[in-house]
């Protein structure tokens, strides 16, 4: 985990890759109040609790982008340990959350459990954290209920498995859809601005502008010729 390098921003964030799939769980917090949210606690909950203690953070929320095991498998345990309410994903991912325990058995993650969010999220919702707030965008395609979290002031987004540096989310899972994912990226993410830095569900951070220039699936030049087929 690395501490944030921009003390001037209204929020801070640190990334903690968790589970055998090295999913980017992110701890974000309000710089003024140190109220924190854990986004996509896929597992390794004791490690996440230790990080919260290390940075003297008060966990206020648990936010989930989508219902896949590596993103949501530790959610129930984190709520049990802290009492923090769960917000997200969109209710269309309920069927994925219901499969977490069965998936966990296959991946050797016996502590992962299903859960019911305290609040399902919709397009246009906001979620608050201390004295700051994030905007919610519903971005289906990888899963039908995938959401992303965007902080306009910090020019920062957590996009889960919608978009990666140099790639995009898989669409071969049940109720995934390639064309829907492309629309989510181009109609929900790109309008937020090329300068937005984002944490993907796996791998290194990037910016929307960098992906519009270089991503072989969704670069402007590629899409001008017609989107690649899945």
- Specify the CATH number for the domain of residue 72: 3.60.15.10
Q: What angle do CA 176, 179, 180 make, to 5 degrees?
A: 60
| Pairing state between β 163-164 and 132-138 | unpaired
Q: How do residues 193-213 score in pLDDT, each as one tens digit? A: 999 999 999 999 999 999 999
What is the rounded distance in angstroms from the CA atom of residue 3 to the CA atom of residue 13?
7
**Residue 212, phi then psi, degrees to nearest 5:** -65, -25
132 located within any domain = yes
What are the helix (H) ranges across the chain?
Answer: 45-54, 69-72, 75-82, 94-97, 100-107, 178-184, 208-214, 220-224
Name which of 211, 199, 208 is nearest 15 in CA terms: 199
What is the rounded distance in angstroms from the CA atom of residue 179 to the CA atom of residue 206?
22
According to the model, what pLDDT value does residue 229 have? Answer: 53
User: How many domains, the chain?
Assistant: 1
Show the domain range for 118: 11-224
What is the rounded distance in angstroms from the CA atom of residue 207 to the CA atom of residue 184?
16
B/e letters for 102-116, b = 16+ CB within 10 Å, e = fewer, are ebbeeeebeebbbbe
| 182 and 88 Cβ atoms separated by less than 8 Å | no
Instruction: Kindly give the confidence (pLDDT) of every residue in the chain, 230 residues in length, as a single tens digit, with 9 standing for 90 and above.
Output: 444 445 678 999 999 999 988 999 999 999 999 999 999 999 999 999 999 999 999 999 999 999 999 999 999 999 999 999 999 999 999 999 999 999 888 888 888 999 999 999 999 999 999 999 999 999 999 999 999 999 999 999 999 999 999 999 999 999 999 999 999 999 999 999 999 999 999 999 999 999 999 999 999 999 988 655 54
pTM of the model: 0.94
60 located within any domain = yes
According to the model, what pLDDT value does residue 9 have? Answer: 83
43 located within any domain = yes
63 located within any domain = yes
194 located within any domain = yes
According to the model, what pLDDT value does residue 228 have? Answer: 56
Token reading at 171:
């669409």
229 located within any domain = no
110 located within any domain = yes
216 located within any domain = yes
In angstroms, the Cα distances linking 92 to 12, 66, 196, 222 are 30, 9, 27, 30
Q: How do residues 26-37 score in pLDDT, each as one tens digit? A: 999 999 999 999
């Amino acid at each position: 985990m690395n501490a944030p390098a921009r003390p001037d921003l209204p929020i801070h964030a640190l990334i903690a890759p968790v589970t055998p799939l090295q999913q980017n769980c992110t701890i974000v917090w309000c710089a003024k109040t140190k109220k924190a949210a854990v986004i996509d606690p896929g597992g390794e909950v004791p490690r996440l609790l230790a990080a919260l203690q290390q940075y003297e953070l008060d966990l206020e929320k648990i936010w989930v982008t989508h219902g896949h095991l590596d993103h949501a498998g530790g959610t129930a345990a984190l709520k049990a340990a802290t009492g923090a309410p769960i917000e997200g994903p969109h209710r269309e991912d309920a069927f994925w959350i219901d499969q977490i325990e069965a998936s966990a058995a296959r991946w050797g993650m016996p502590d992962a459990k299903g859960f019911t969010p305290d609040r399902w999220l919709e397009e246009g919702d906001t979620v608050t954290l201390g004295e700051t707030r994030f905007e919610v965008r519903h971005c289906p395609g990888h899963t039908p209920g995938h959401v992303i979290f965007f902080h306009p002031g910090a020019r920062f987004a957590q996009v889960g498995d919608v978009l990666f540096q140099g790639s995009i989310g898989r669409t071969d899972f049940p109720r995934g859809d390639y064309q829907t994912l492309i629309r989510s990226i181009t109609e929900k993410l790109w309008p937020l601005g090329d300068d937005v830095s984002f944490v993907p569900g796996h791998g290194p951070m990037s910016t929307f502008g960098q992906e519009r220039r270089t991503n072989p699936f969704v670069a402007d030049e590629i899409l001008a010729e017609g989107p690649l087929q899945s």
